[in-house]
Structure 1
Amino acid sequence: MVGTAPGATPADAARDVLRQLAHQPYGQVSNSVYETGRLVADAPWLDGHGHRLTYLLAEQGADGSWGPAGGYALVPTASAVEALLAALVRPHPTGPGPTRTEVVTAATRGVAALSRRLGDGGSRPDTPAADLIVPALATRIDAHLAELHGADGSALSGAPRALPPVDRRRVEAVTALLAGGRPVPSKLWHAYEVLGPAAAGRTEVTLVDGAVGASPAATAAWLGHGRRPEPAARAYLDAVVTRHGGPVPCCTPITVFERSWTLATLSRVALPVRPAPRLVTELAAALGPDGAATGPGLPADADTTSVTLYALARLGHPVDPGSLLHYDLGSHFCTWRGEDGQSVTTNAHVLEALGWHARHTGEGGRRYAARVAALADWLREVQRPEGHWADRWHASPYYATCCAVLALAGYAAPEVARVAIDRAVDWLLATQRDDGGWGRWSTTAEETAYAVHVLAVARRPAASAAIGRALGLLRMEQTEHPPLWHDKDLYSPDLIVRAAVIAARTLALEAVAPMDGGLPAGGGRGPTRA
């Protein structure tokens, strides 16, 4: 992937992003240890098997686990361990890849790391389907361990013979629903690969653009359950593997998600956001009676729907947001019906979509005014005591805080927004790192960008000074970013993140301009309330 050349202006970078939106419609998303592990285990016949094994070994951490700190390592570690053990139990002829000894060493370390994590009793992040994935993979791992220890007790010397017990109640409940032919939430098809044989006979599981649930792992498992070849599914998997060089992402394509988030972000600041007419037409066409979905085979959701509506409105193509009312729970909006939990960022995005129409569409928009006021109150109420917000779709509180503040600044009554925004700004000023950036685990350009978006709203001298210290970290040429977004494991939608950095740099240049005596080339007017 070619990024913006060093020295380019934010306007140059924005034009490059628009070109990539048009020319790479499947989206730019990081590879997934979890998803790649599922292909190693369930689709060893797929081209690139050896490369996927090599990728898993390369991603293993010093402590034997996979993934970032804390509970976020549990799902990718379980997937990688099960994949490596499956490769030992059922060797598959392959091209270049690691030796059996290398796989044994990595698997032994991985089993030990997974056992420690399962036994530590720590909290688990709210990532999709984790309560199904972990017990399902633990069952498979225990079976592999029994077979390997039984066949050759020295094969995994030093590794436990079984994992600590895990909570299987959720798996058992879903299995009973599937076996009994009773309805299950369609969102589960995204994790079809851990639903087991009971899912094989469900006729409502269908291919959409060759994919089951927009997931390579789900699609591969569905193929394994099939009674006849499915060329579309095989073509989907082959295309994903080719694009990513062997390893695969967790959700692909992400066309609507990527386009809506990117266009909404760039249109907030004074950048020349003029996408090709085809992009706008296709984005509007993605909206159905229930709104828009992130990817093929996934259910429509309020988050994708609201950002799509907001992006279209900012681009001069407003669509009535009535589809969002399907998700209205009275106090707030759910991401989808039957959601376990609640999402700050979904509600912030709904506030923006409804708020824009309430402000700009006269009598037709006034019917949304009461919901706008109620959502603003709800966002203020769920702000954490420290001044930030946290969310179930992103690992970083800086993302949730940015979404909440921009929504409140744009569409809440001043008396509602002011105190909440001031508290958020105080929290950001207190958590800026010595290098001038922000980050949950370490400084990242993405989290620094979110902080700058919030501080630009404040327009306080201390905020401007903090932005000035962060400016050098907003590198628009960076094309890959650490995974912070929630799916079955953490991932990065790289073009969406890049757009956030470009927009933040635009705001940062404006903030430091008065200190420098003029507006630098490529600067902008800052965020708008439009």
Structure 2
Amino acid sequence: MTAAARDLVALLEREPAGQVSNSVYETGRLVADAPWLDGHGRRLAYLLAQQSADGSWGPAGGYALVPTASAVQGLLAELVRADPAGTAARAELAAATARGLAALARRLADGTSMPDTPAADLIVPALAARIDAHLTELGGEFGPALPPVDRRRVDAVAALLATDHPVPSKLWHAYEVLGAAAATRTEVTPVEGAVGASPAATAAWLAHRRTPDRAARAYLDAVVARHGGPVPCCTPITTFERSWSLATLVRVGLPVTPSPGLVSELVAALGPDGAATGPGLPTDADTTSATLYALARLGHPVDPASLLRFDLGTHFCTWQGEDGHSITTNAHVLEALGWHARNARDGAERYAPRVTRLAGWLRDAQQPDGQWADRWHASPYYATCCAALALAGYAPAEVADAAVDRAADWVLATQRDDGGWGRWSTTTEETAYAVHVLLGAGRPIRPRVREAVLRALEPLCAEPTEHPPLWHDKDLYTPILIVRAAVIAARRLAFAATETARGGASVPRQQGADQGMITTA
């Protein structure tokens, strides 16, 4: 596992933009709004190839609404632009569009609920209106308008944009569905060429400019070149990818040695307000805490005072004005503050009360069956892993132990017949999270745990051609190296446990959790 970890760290350095899967949603937006951008034909081909047998795009249920609406609207826009002559290419586009429209109409008509993915309540009604306009333009070729969609949220945002009142900066990540009123907002400017770290948002912003913006165009060209035509929802993800991956590896004691330059860049990402996932996005407690924790575990601690602006008294928000709350954000905050409370010179005085309060909040948020669920990932195994490891590492035993044991019991009870774990089917990623819960929290290795881990070795060691997208953005995506780090770390735990655990032995509790002794090269 050491060699695999070393290779992963080398990739973090060699490809600083990060590795993230392509997005049907985002690619559909470029098909509709940026046909002038290089790779247009490849994006069309990607949409056609990604369509499911039932006509939809994306996973089952509500998760299909956003990508299906985007793909359908993108294909309709292409049909409106295309030569009306009955070519074979047009026939293929028309057939895919008709199947997609039927699938989208079914889901809207049966009241399929939208998952808690960013801007879904803006995206679906905005694209439904554009789809209906295209259907009118095409003269009824594809049938009647879509079933009605709740527009209250999108209308409220449009009304806000038309005023001079402040607008939450998180909205710029979905600039492409905000309409003409967004063009009047002078505070929207590219950061490192990107609007809201989004190719779709950047392309839409460019379309509103009277004069070209070279940095924004260069950003789009670079993203298309890296991904070959289709594009991801959020890029670059430099700080996000590096902090999550490094924290995961060092948490299990893997001796990773990132370069001084990479460490310096992580430190520089932490401004007085924290760190952001990508350029043009607001700073957030999740990325800030993961970066703080990774640096601390690498032997380069930075005072976590920037996290305090996200403290709501009972728990921490991901960003100011967040709707709802995030289990995994608060788990990462617990790790960051917990390390400093235990190790920094005045950490106990400054942060220990918050650690105790936050640990209690996380414990109380656990569901009766032992799992946690979260707004940033489709799988409860991810949220349960984050919460269980944070509690095991930094909460008092009287708070952590029973909660971690309940989490392990839930994991044991939900193991699939093939030895793996997964919300919809077994995945290597979710199997890794389950193994982290069973072995990474330092609890005694019960016979049932050892047996479950032995059964999990085959799916855990599988090498899928790609990991199914499970992470929440405008549609589901995979941060590839972050997932790979979780799998590498889980394999280390599993191999160690199956080789050495005997009777009541246990894997060391978060190996080296508070030593901060791993140094950089």
**Could you state the TM-score of these two structures normalised by the residue count of structure 1?**
0.93
Offset at residue 476 of structure 1 (A): 7.3
1:507–1:526 contact (8 Å) kept in structure 2:
no
Offset at residue 91 of structure 1 (A): 2.3
Offset at residue 419 of structure 1 (A): 1.0
In 2, Cα distance between equivalents of 1:344 and 1:192:
27
Give the corresponding residue for 2:197.
214
Say which of 448, 456, 462 aligns to 1:470: 456
- Cα 1:212–1:34 change in 2 (3 A) is same
Instruction: Tell me, yes or no, if structure 1 residue 184 matches structure 2 residue 167.
Output: yes
Instruction: Tell me, yes or no, if structure 1 residue 509 matches structure 2 residue 495.
Output: yes
1:44–1:92 contact (8 Å) kept in structure 2:
no
Offset at residue 362 of structure 1 (A): 3.0
Offset at residue 365 of structure 1 (A): 3.9
Give the corresponding residue for 2:373.
390
In 1, Cα distance between equivalents of 2:63 and 2:464:
24
Question: What do residues 194-235 of structure 1 show as CA deviations (whole Å, max 9, x unaligned)?
Answer: 000000021110011111000000000001111101111111
Give the corresponding residue for 1:482.
468
Instruction: Tell me, yes or no, if structure 1 residue 105 matches structure 2 residue 102.
Output: no
Amino acid at match of 1:141: I
Question: What do residues 260-299 of structure 1 show as CA deviations (whole Å, max 9, x unaligned)?
Answer: 0000000011212111111100000000011000000000
Instruction: Tell me, yes or no, if structure 1 residue 269 matches structure 2 residue 255.
Output: no
Residue range with higher mean Cα deviation, 84-93 or 242-251: 84-93
Give the corresponding residue for 1:53.
44
Question: What do residues 98-123 of structure 1 show as CA deviations (whole Å, max 9, x unaligned)?
Answer: 81100000000000100001111133
Give the corresponding residue for 1:451.
434
Question: What do residues 347-385 of structure 1 show as CA deviations (whole Å, max 9, x unaligned)?
Answer: 000000000000001324431000000011000111011
- Cα 1:98–1:257 change in 2 (3 A) is farther
2:19–2:479 contact (8 Å) kept in structure 1:
yes
Give the corresponding residue for 1:138.
128
Give the corresponding residue for 2:518.
none
In 1, Cα distance between equivalents of 2:347 and 2:487:
35
Offset at residue 124 of structure 1 (A): 1.9
Instruction: Tell me, yes or no, if structure 1 residue 322 matches structure 2 residue 305.
Output: yes
Amino acid at match of 1:25: P
Give the corresponding residue for 1:12.
3
In 1, Cα distance between equivalents of 2:370 and 2:237:
32
In 1, Cα distance between equivalents of 2:97 and 2:417:
39
1:39–1:217 contact (8 Å) kept in structure 2:
yes
In 1, Cα distance between equivalents of 2:509 and 2:4:
17
Offset at residue 526 of structure 1 (A): 6.8
Instruction: Tell me, yes or no, if structure 1 residue 35 matches structure 2 residue 26.
Output: yes
> Size of the alignment, in residue pairs?
506
Residue range with higher mean Cα deviation, 138-147 or 458-467: 458-467
Amino acid at match of 1:111: L
2:43–2:229 contact (8 Å) kept in structure 1:
yes
Give the corresponding residue for 2:519.
none
Offset at residue 479 of structure 1 (A): 6.4
Q: Which runs of 5+ in 1 are unaligned?
A: 1-9, 518-523
Equivalent positions of 1:93-172 (< 5 A) are: 99-148=89-138, 150=139, 153=140, 155-156=141-142, 160-172=143-155
- Cα 1:344–1:515 change in 2 (3 A) is closer
1:53–1:98 contact (8 Å) kept in structure 2:
no
In 1, Cα distance between equivalents of 2:89 and 2:502:
58
Amino acid at match of 1:397: P
Offset at residue 467 of structure 1 (A): 1.1
Offset at residue 478 of structure 1 (A): 4.7
- Cα 1:25–1:92 change in 2 (3 A) is farther
2:331–2:387 contact (8 Å) kept in structure 1:
yes
Amino acid at match of 1:71: G
Equivalent positions of 1:50-449 (< 5 A) are: 50-91=41-82, 99-148=89-138, 150=139, 153=140, 155-156=141-142, 160-449=143-432
In 2, Cα distance between equivalents of 1:242 and 1:343:
34
Instruction: Tell me, yes or no, if structure 1 residue 461 matches structure 2 residue 447.
Output: yes
- Cα 1:234–1:205 change in 2 (3 A) is same
Offset at residue 86 of structure 1 (A): 0.4
Residue range with higher mean Cα deviation, 464-473 or 384-393: 464-473
Q: Which runs of 5+ in 2 are unaligned?
A: 515-521
Question: What do residues 117-167 of structure 1 show as CA deviations (whole Å, max 9, x unaligned)?
Answer: 11111332100000100000000000001111x2xx4x33xxx31000011
2:327–2:383 contact (8 Å) kept in structure 1:
yes
**Could you state the TM-score of these two structures normalised by the residue count of structure 2?**
0.95
Identity %: 74
In 2, Cα distance between equivalents of 1:60 and 1:435:
28
1:479–1:498 contact (8 Å) kept in structure 2:
no
In 2, Cα distance between equivalents of 1:138 and 1:34:
14
1:479–1:495 contact (8 Å) kept in structure 2:
no
Offset at residue 469 of structure 1 (A): 1.0
- Cα 1:27–1:476 change in 2 (3 A) is farther
Question: What do residues 7-37 of structure 1 show as CA deviations (whole Å, max 9, x unaligned)?
Answer: xxx1110010011000000000000000000
